[in-house]
Structure 1
């Protein structure tokens, strides 16, 4: 058996997927809207500086910014095509390509940072995920809040016995690489070897705390209905974390 093809990086895949991104996002409107409402409910006063990290085509972040009314609003993405689309919308004060060295040099300290729809799961490897969260932590002012949601390895929608089995083995013998997946993503007739990651609640606690964050809230959001639950097996994992003052 031959080895699988190396996974294509997220920037290449999202460049190719850009034309379909808006239509696909609209099929997930219940879930997206529920997460955005959770964020807006946490921001009782308009943030001074808001960063949409992993902005995609920019539409969602702009709608969220309209809800929470930040004084200054910025967006950032790894895909050059997505960065271009954000710039075309013209709502953000500046749109950054995170592929650029020192990309955040001109970014003021952030007090509301959103990193949504499993952006962290597109980062390959635990060390790289730790590094990204540490970087996001460094961009924030003391007291600032991070809002992040990720795919859930323990989601009961994969089957209750599957979920239970995963919870047992992950509790007895933790190994974050169990959440790594490989798949082919077909875009316009072309198969892109892709990779992703599904997280456990314990893993997210570890990653966020090791970056310096204090976890304020953990909930799940159903990927189809948008139902919000305190049972962390019921959907996507959603966290509110803060940088200690």
Structure 2
């Protein structure tokens, strides 16, 4: 019969217990309460970043976005480089006449200006679509461009209602076909505006049998439907005499 040493059995049991515990730790992996120091740093930094973001949002809110479009009141074409003033802030329209601006708060009014146009003031709102009327000077300059191109019927449409009632389109076109070609140049000055009436000083260069002559002939305009129209009559021929 083989005798078994009790001390040997005890040591063996202790060894097996230690081995089993070791395998259990390997299977379970690292302790759930053990966090790598680098991860702690990252968590801390994320917390600081979140806090700073909240503070910035409170101090500088995202604001109110206002957008719109600015067009010509006569041609309906977009107006590029128009300036939209919103209190102390301002923005310029793009080539399509569009703009977008972000404000902390809405002012009472928006002021819109553009070269060659009358300025417009409108109540503040988040969407602004408006049309700027050409200035009296621009109106006369455009009329002269049509004159040079001999677009007499289009010129007639730019007259006031009273002028068109006094002078038919056929009469107007006939006069300009016969005499309009003798006016070879036109230079206009800054307009004098009083309410719905305006005077645009102009210098016309006229070809005569004695050579070229210059005439100081102001243009008279009246505002109708929010845009400027030219006052004309049959007695004036091709010069804007009152």
The TM-score range, normalised by the shorter chain, is under 0.3
Q: Is the radius of gyration larger for structure 1 or structure 2?
A: 2
Tell me the TM-score normalised to structure 2 length: 0.22
Structure (1 or 2) with the greater strand fraction: 2
Tell me the TM-score normalised to structure 1 length: 0.22
Higher relative contact order (CA 8 A, sep 6+): 1
